[in-house]
């Protein structure tokens, strides 16, 4: 109140009013041990009074720390509009909150793979580190990731956590999740379980999920049948097409484990068109628990990933790395959400 608006108060103004030097103000507001409690409180009061707030640019410039992280989504197709993957959007929420909790600012950007992020974000001191979220062919990213590692860029990636992973990575326990789905379906007496999703080195997360399913089947002495696996990427029409392919093969199956909810939804449409009932003829399990999953008929049984945990783990891992105390790669357990698409 005691100040002409227009020119914002600086730490010098506070210092003058408090009868101390500018550095003391800085120390006081950052909670340094070397300023007495009385002085600190006086300074804090004045600062509050003037509606003072530390200039972020000056602070970051001097301390070489921006307390900001950049979240980079990259998707290879969709060159044009919106239609962000709903799963990542949920992740965005979790990351945002964790950043808030840790007092970090969050920059976000959608990228094509070609752009050079490190230059734009880390080298220019916009952000202390990067979080990389992206679907798409993993093998296409490998070179980029290697570059980032070589360049010494601080980053964390969401993806399949394995031995050959490039750069710090955290992700869900996809193998465990696949096992979860498999056990559930097996527990319902299903024996011929199909997998819809591209399960190779291009899509390691899908591959992990499939591996988990096979694992569960192996537990019951069932060998995986290649005829029951059909490639499909994340989208709804891919699921539809894959299910038609499966049906067209003429092999018998009584359950489907889809690598994503959208695939599952597309598959359900194809099953309906083929006159197959869910869960009567075919039980079906999806992955991700997107909002739409509970709105389908019948509602979709699916695997829910731990979003909140994911946000925390990503941010914490990144911060640890920025502070030069790298955390080991972490993996998060997933949970089965049972709905009517698997009977019950």
Q: Which residues bind DNA (CB under 7 A)?
A: 8, 10-12, 19-24, 26-27, 29-30, 33-39, 52, 54-55, 58-59, 61-64
| Residue 55 vs 115, nearer CB to DNA | 55
Cα 6 to Cα 10, 43, 251, 274: the distances in Å are 12, 22, 75, 70
**Closer Cβ to a copy of itself, 229 or 234, answer by number:** 234
* Per-residue CA distances from 138 to 143, 276, 284 (Å): 10, 34, 27
Distance in Å, CB of 334 to DNA, minimum: 40
Give 32's contacts (C-beta < 8 A, 6+ positions apart): none
Q: Pick between residue 151 and residue 249 the one whose CB is nearest to a copy of itself.
A: 151
Residue with tokens 């980053």: 155
Which residues, 6 or more positions from 308, have their beta carbon under 8 angstroms from its beta carbon? 94, 97
Which of residues 37 and 112 has its CB atom nearest to DNA in the complex? 37
Structure tokens at 81: 């509009």
Contact 160, 304 (CB under 8 A): no
Nearer to a copy of itself, 89 or 218 (CB): 89
Cis peptide before 94 (omega within 30 of 0): no
Least distance in angstroms from the C-beta of 38 to a copy of itself: 25
Q: In angstroms, rounded to a whole number, what is the distance separating the alpha carbons of residues 261 and 256? A: 12
Minimum CB separation of residue 12 from DNA in Å reads 6
From DNA, a copy of itself, none, interface partner of 83 (C-beta below 5 to 8 A by class): a copy of itself
Is residue 207 within 8 Å of residue 200, measured between CB atoms? yes
35 binds, among DNA, a copy of itself, none (CB under 5 to 8 A by kind): DNA
- Applying CB under 8 A, the residues found at the interface with a copy of itself are 5, 8, 51, 53-58, 60-61, 66, 68, 81-84, 86, 89-90, 92-94, 96-97, 100, 105-110, 119-120, 123-126, 152, 236, 265, 291-292, 295-297, 307-308
Binding site partner of 11, from a copy of itself, DNA, none, Cβ cut-off 5-8 A by kind: DNA
């Amino acid at each position: 109140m005691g100040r002409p608006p227009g020119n914002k108060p600086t730490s010098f103004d506070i210092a003058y009013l408090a009868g101390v030097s500018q550095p003391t103000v800085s120390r006081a507001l950052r909670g340094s041990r070397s300023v007495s409690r009385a002085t600190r409180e006086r300074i804090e009061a004045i600062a509050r009074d003037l509606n003072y707030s530390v200039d972020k640019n000056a602070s970051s410039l001097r301390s070489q720390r921006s307390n900001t992280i950049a979240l980079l989504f990259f998707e290879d197709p969709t060159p044009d509009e919106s239609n962000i993957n709903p799963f990542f959007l949920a992740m965005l929420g979790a990351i945002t909150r964790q950043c808030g909790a840790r007092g970090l600012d969050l920059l976000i950007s959608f990228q094509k793979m070609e752009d050079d992020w490190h230059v734009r974000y880390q080298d220019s001191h916009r952000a202390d580190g990067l979080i990389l979220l992206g679907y798409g062919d993993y093998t296409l990213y490998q070179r980029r990731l290697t570059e980032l590692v070589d360049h010494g860029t601080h980053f964390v990636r969401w993806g399949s956590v394995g031995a050959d992973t490039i750069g710090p990575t955290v992700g869900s326990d996809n193998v465990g999740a696949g096992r979860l789905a498999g056990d559930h379906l097996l527990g319902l007496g299903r024996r011929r379980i199909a997998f819809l999703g591209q399960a190779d080195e291009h899509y390691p997360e899908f591959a992990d999920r499939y591996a988990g399913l096979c694992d569960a089947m192996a537990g019951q002495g069932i060998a995986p049948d290649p005829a029951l696996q059909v490639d499909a990427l994340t989208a709804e029409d891919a699921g539809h097409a894959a299910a038609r392919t499966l049906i067209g093969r003429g092999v018998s199956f009584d359950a489907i484990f889809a690598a994503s909810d959208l695939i599952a939804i597309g598959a359900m449409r194809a099953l309906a068109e083929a006159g197959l009932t869910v869960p009567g003829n075919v039980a079906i399990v999806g992955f991700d628990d997107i909002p739409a999953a509970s709105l389908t008929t019948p509602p979709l049984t699916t695997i829910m990933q731990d979003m909140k945990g994911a946000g925390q783990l990503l941010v914490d891992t990144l911060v640890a790395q920025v502070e030069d105390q790298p955390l080991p790669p972490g993996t998060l357990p997933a949970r089965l959400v049972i709905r009517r698409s698997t009977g019950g």
